[in-house]
Structure 1
Amino acid sequence: MDYTPSDRVYLEDDLGLDAAWLAARIVEDPALLALGETELAVEHIAPSDRPGSLTVHLADPTAGIWHVAEVKLADADTDQVLRVLTLWLGSRTDPAGAERQPSVVAEHIPPAVARAVLMAQEVAPLGAYELHALQVGDQVALHTEPVQPPETTDAAADHELATRLAEALARLQGHSPEQAADLRLRMIGRLYRHDDRGPADPPAPV
């Protein structure tokens, strides 16, 4: 068996391929996003309101799940997390009553975004996935892998991010400032439980 070296590349920055090109690949092979364990069907793909981004709706009839994913070229950011949560909150079930599963997909999930996804799991079954492009000769191979959040390295940044997420979700749901503050504490608690270190009720940063 011959060996052919491959290089990881970024679709737009390295190859000049845009979100429309990626959308066509998802239509051809919905499984490349790795969002389900059974066969997925593309229900709708549209350009997002942000450059280099797509909103993708996939149906998994076998599992009874409707996937909604915000897919972005290059690096993910926390605005992408908030957008997919907005879509999820707007319609938690599809017309057939299937469970709606939100996901963030990007070529790179920075640590802060991975931790934002973990915090958001306090209210939503949110997943984070990296889309890897490999160039083999003149061919491009795509595959997607789930991303796990790293342990905290900046407690103050975690608290700031939790505050932003909790306040945004409170506005979307019409919740009070007190409910937003409670959600922020629960999000921080989830981080500490994931890290398996620190006190059960983490102190606020000074």
Structure 2
Amino acid sequence: MKIRTSTRIAMRDSPAFSERWLQEYIEADPSVLGLGDLRVIERERRMPGGGRLDLLLIDPDSGVRYEVELQTGATDGDHIIRTLEYWDLERRRYPHAEHVAVIVAEQVTGRFFNVIGLFNRHIPIIAVQMEAYDLGDDDVLLTFATVLDHVAASPDDIEAAAAPVFNRQYWDEQTAPEIMDVVDGLFELLREIDETVTPKYNKWYIGVRTGRSVTNYVAFHPKQQWVRTELRLPEEAVDDAALEAAGIERLPYRKGWHRLNVNPGNTDEAEALLRDLFAAARQRYEDSWGLSWGSPSA
């Protein structure tokens, strides 16, 4: 084993490490950020009102968009504000996508953590600290480490903050009729389990109301070609082979939620599987909260 010594490089003071160079380096391989197998939508994206977003990345599996700002040196107020501003602009332009703000800097300061703390976790933001080391012989090691990861709120968290101004008409105007037909079919399956279930329309997703209570053991995100269906179940509770046999696409498991893409034209096999999964998610939700809604109606 050969051990090599290294010297830390102050990237901000080195002409070799400009922000444009960093853009091109990350654009060539976004996985270096350690945020997953992301794809580049655009570099130096023009923003309304002026300014350019360094990188706009997307997770091709989940559709989550990452608004990335780069900075050599320590995080400063301008870059922090710009990161949040560009995240908010993109979130407003594409409201049906999930967005995460990302700041990449040579040093993430205590002031940055203080500023982000003021938002009380209401903004999904990731901070990545990068470091460069001179290994000699013109070799340089560049590392990226996540030092802050505030994930997006869960459907229950969003429910608490959502204003009750979104309704069926809102979703009909935003979504193709055949996709809303899929949503209607999914609620029919839910009503086979409990006839009191009704949709709870929100800006970002369609939740579930049982009687007078919001019970988000399942949530629906209508997209252009399918309905992303999220179920709160343990990872091992869903059989990949059964999903494949039913023609249902499964996205990566994420923080307690199974995510499935349900397309128009479900087969009987798919409907039976979804009904069973809905029933399991409902039962687990009931057990978790010590609730009792009576026996299923069907």
Which TM class, normalised by the smaller chain length?
0.5 to 0.7
Residue 44 of structure 1: CA displacement? 1.4
In structure 2, list runs of 5 or more residues that go unmatched. 150-298
In the alignment, is the contact (CA less than 8 A) between 1:59 and 1:65 conserved in 2? yes
Give 1 or 2: higher strand fraction.
2
Q: Which residue of 1 aligns with 2:259?
A: none
For 1:45, the aligned partner's letter is: R
In structure 1, C-alpha distance between the alignment counterparts of 2:45 and 2:72, rounded to whole Å = 12
Q: Which residue of 2 aligns with 1:124?
A: 123
User: Could you give the per-residue CA deviations for residues 162-203 of structure 1, whole angstroms, max 9, x where no partner exists?
Assistant: xxxxxxxxxxxxxxxxxxxxxxxxxxxxxxxxxxxxxxxxxx
Residue 102 of structure 1: CA displacement? 0.4
TM-score, scaled relative to structure 2 = 0.43
In the alignment, is the contact (CA less than 8 A) between 1:39 and 1:60 conserved in 2? yes
For 1:90, the aligned partner's letter is: L
Give the percent of matched residue pairs that are identical in Structure 1 and Structure 2. Answer: 26
Q: Which residue of 2 aligns with 1:83?
A: 82
SS in 1 for 2:91: coil
Residue 14 of structure 1: CA displacement? 3.6
The runs of 4+ residues in structure 1 deviating greater than 6 Å are none
Give runs of aligned pairs for residues 56-135 of structure 1, distance below 5 A: 56-92=55-91, 95=94, 97-135=96-134
User: Could you give the per-residue CA deviations for residues 51-82 of structure 1, whole angstroms, max 9, x where no partner exists?
Assistant: xx962111111232100011111111122121
Give runs of aligned pairs for residues 33-48 of structure 1, distance below 5 A: 33-34=33-34, 36=35, 38-46=36-44
- Count of aligned pairs between the two proteins: 144
Q: Which residue of 1 aligns with 2:146?
A: 146
In structure 1, C-alpha distance between the alignment counterparts of 2:91 and 2:120, rounded to whole Å = 14
Q: Which residue of 2 aligns with 1:18?
A: 18
Compared with structure 1, are the counterparts of its residues 26 and 63 closer, same or farther at alpha carbon in structure 2 (3 Å cutoff)? same
**Greater Rg by CA:** 2
In the alignment, is the contact (CA less than 8 A) between 2:130 and 2:143 conserved in 1? yes
User: Could you give the per-residue CA deviations for residues 89-146 of structure 1, whole angstroms, max 9, x where no partner exists?
Assistant: 2221775943111011100111111221233353311122211112211112222112
In structure 2, C-alpha distance between the alignment counterparts of 1:3 and 1:62, rounded to whole Å = 39
Select between 19-28 and 67-76 the one with higher mean Cα deviation: 19-28
Residue 11 of structure 1: CA displacement? 2.2
In structure 1, list runs of 5 or more residues that go unmatched. 150-206
Select between 86-95 and 136-145 the one with higher mean Cα deviation: 86-95
In the alignment, is the contact (CA less than 8 A) between 2:54 and 2:69 conserved in 1? yes
Q: Which residue of 2 aligns with 1:166?
A: none
